Amino acid sequence: MGIIAFETTCVALASLAIITPLKIATAVVIFLFVFVFIIAVFSQRGRAEMTPEREIALASGATDRSTVFEMSLLQPVMWLLLVLVQRLPMPGYKAKFRKWLVAAGSPNFYTPDEFIAVAMLWGLIIAIILEVVSIRFLGGPSIILPMVGFLTGLVGMAYHLYGQASKRLQQIGRRMPYTLDLIALAMGAGATFTEAVRTVVGEDPEHPFSEELNSVLAEIDLGTTRRQALMNMSDRIPQESLRSIVAAIIQAEALGTPLSDVLKQQANLLRLQRSVRAEKLAASASVRILIPSLLILLSVVIAVFATIIIKGIKGELMF
């Protein structure tokens, strides 16, 4: 028995002596491969792009942004993520993110690549947290949980941006008739279009529509024509009503029509469209509420006649 145990121990030690160098060599090769890959892909810093909105804000005297890309602690990580995003071949998604960013008011003046890099950072943070939870409470590392966490960070940031853009566009649409009336009133009192817009912007500068009009004024101050500045605003805000207003203003300038009258007509048209839309929603609401009402009525009938129905099914109903 002792000889057999000794032989078994020798075989185990011999196999361990062979396997351990293999594991070490494999780990070294994997490390070198990852290191060379990182050096090859991320040997240069990411390309810093300046959005037009950021250029206008800086030219008009606003302070520059302070984001994770400017933090010395996170800057190396963010530059690596930015390089990775810039090399990803997904122009369609980047164009969609650009539209959402512009519609949301260009938060922190992010470019689409920068925003996706920030979303990836949040995904990595959530993935690390889930991996720690898996090791601490589930007894071992996991592959699925970090992947789910990473995708959750990406999708969550995209959904948050889309919701922010939709909410801002809704606020602009509600404010448009009121703003057009004020501009027309100021122009009727003798002010020019630029002076009237500046007065309206000064009344509530924090409102999204006032911010867009302020961008128009900044572009005009930088030398852009009023026509081009208004067209740029219609490109930033994907609303058909705003495009029609800009087209009416441009046409009024070309034909010499009083601009105040055109703005009043556009404001009345917007109110009429809002009333028609409200009537359509009210008409569709009566149809949508029909199914829940029928379900409630059916549940009440079943609750009232449940005893009789059960007895009839069992054949115990007495006449």
* Model pLDDT for residues 112-132, shown as the tens digit of each residue: 888 998 999 899 899 889 888
Res 307 pLDDT > 80 = no
Is it the case that residue 94 has pLDDT exceeding 70?
yes
pLDDT band at 292 (very low <50, low <70, confident <90, very high): confident
Best-predicted range by mean pLDDT among 158-167, 269-278, 292-301?
Answer: 158-167
The phi, psi pair for 312, rounded to 5°, reads -65, -35
pLDDT of 5 > 60? The answer is no
Cα gap 284→280, rounded to integer Å: 6
Instruction: Please tell me the predicted confidence (pLDDT) of residue 58.
Output: 63
pLDDT digits (tens, 9 = 90+) for 34-43: 554 555 455 5
Q: Give 223's pLDDT tier (boundaries 50, 70, 90).
A: confident
How does pLDDT run across 152-198, given as a tens digit for each residue? 999 999 999 999 999 998 888 888 888 888 888 888 888 888 888 88
pLDDT value of position 11:
46
Structural domains for the chain:
172-289 (1.20.81.30), 290-319 (no CATH)
Residue 91, both tokens: 């122009």
